Amino acid sequence: MVSESEKKTAVAVVMGSDSDMAVMRSCVEMLGEFGITPAVRIISAHRTPQIAAEFAETAAENGIKVIIAAAGMAAHLAGALAGRTMLPVIGVPLISAGGLEGIDALLSTMQMPPGVPVATVAIGKAGAKNAAILTVQILALSDKSLAEKLAEFKKSQEKKVIEKDSALQ
């Protein structure tokens, strides 16, 4: 089933569980800083495989241009989606209870077979933020307004570091 928000956005943030929202909120917030309100879904590669397949197969026709997929443990969500779409998929590996501090999810997310790429970012919150920034970089290739916002963001990052360095001097 296609939600109304999916029809109005170019980005989908998909999580394997509602417990992942605690980390992925930082991704959604970072996208918001660039004026992007993503469709946010909970879809499991293992517990709702048909829904995951339908979502991936129809994402492009519903206006989605980039999918950010976050999961822990076996972390097959990003790969399952990537296998059923031609859209860029960015995987965010997450730490889960009883796991290996996210290393298990990292390896599951990045070890894709040739021909089915998943761009993989760091584990956890830093990765969630970077997934948002990478999404903006992809979209900015064909969106001048986003490219300008991205340039401002990069300048802001530079300024913060220079200010911190100056404070030490």
| CATH for 35 | 3.40.50.1970
Please check whether residue 35 lies inside any domain of the structure. yes
Q: Tell whether 118 is covered by a domain.
A: yes
Task: Scan for tokens 């300008």, then name that residue.
Answer: 148
pLDDT in the model for residue 8:
60
Domain containing 105: what range?
4-143
Section 99-122 average pLDDT: 95
Residues 6+ apart with CB under 8 A from 96: 72, 73, 102, 105
Per-residue model confidence (pLDDT) at position 34: 97
Residue 114 belongs to a domain? yes
Query: Side by side, which strands form the sheet with 39-42?
Result: 39-42, 11-15, 66-72, 89-94, 119-120
CA separation for the pair 159, 42 (Å, rounded):
37
Q: How far is CA 2 from the centre of its chain?
A: 19
The pLDDT of residue 2 is 47
Answer yes or no: is 26 within a domain. Answer: yes
Is the predicted pLDDT of residue 141 greater than 50, yes or no? yes
pLDDT confidence of residue 9? 86
Q: Is 39 helix (H, G, I), strand (E, B) or coil?
A: strand
Phi-psi region of 35 (alpha: psi -120 to 50; beta: other; left: phi over 0): left
> pLDDT digit string (tens) for 43-79?
999 999 999 999 999 999 999 999 999 999 889 999 9
97, pLDDT greater than 90: no
Quote the number of domains for the chain: 1
Does any domain span residue 14?
yes
Q: Has residue 1 got a pLDDT over 60?
A: no
Asked if the model's pLDDT at residue 159 lies above 60, the reply is: yes
- Whether 135 is in a domain gets the answer yes
pLDDT tens by residue, 30-44: 999 999 999 999 999
Cα separation, 25 vs 41, in Å, equals: 12
pLDDT of residue 7: 43
Dmax over Cα atoms in the chain, in whole Å?
A: 58
Between CA 102 and CA 118 the distance in angstroms is: 17
Asked if residue 55 is part of any domain, the answer here is: yes
pLDDT at 134: 98
Here the tokens at position 116 are 């089915």
Q: Considering the domain boundaries, does residue 138 fall inside one?
A: yes
Residue type, 66: V
**Segment among 7-21, 53-67, 77-91, 138-152 with least mean pLDDT:** 7-21
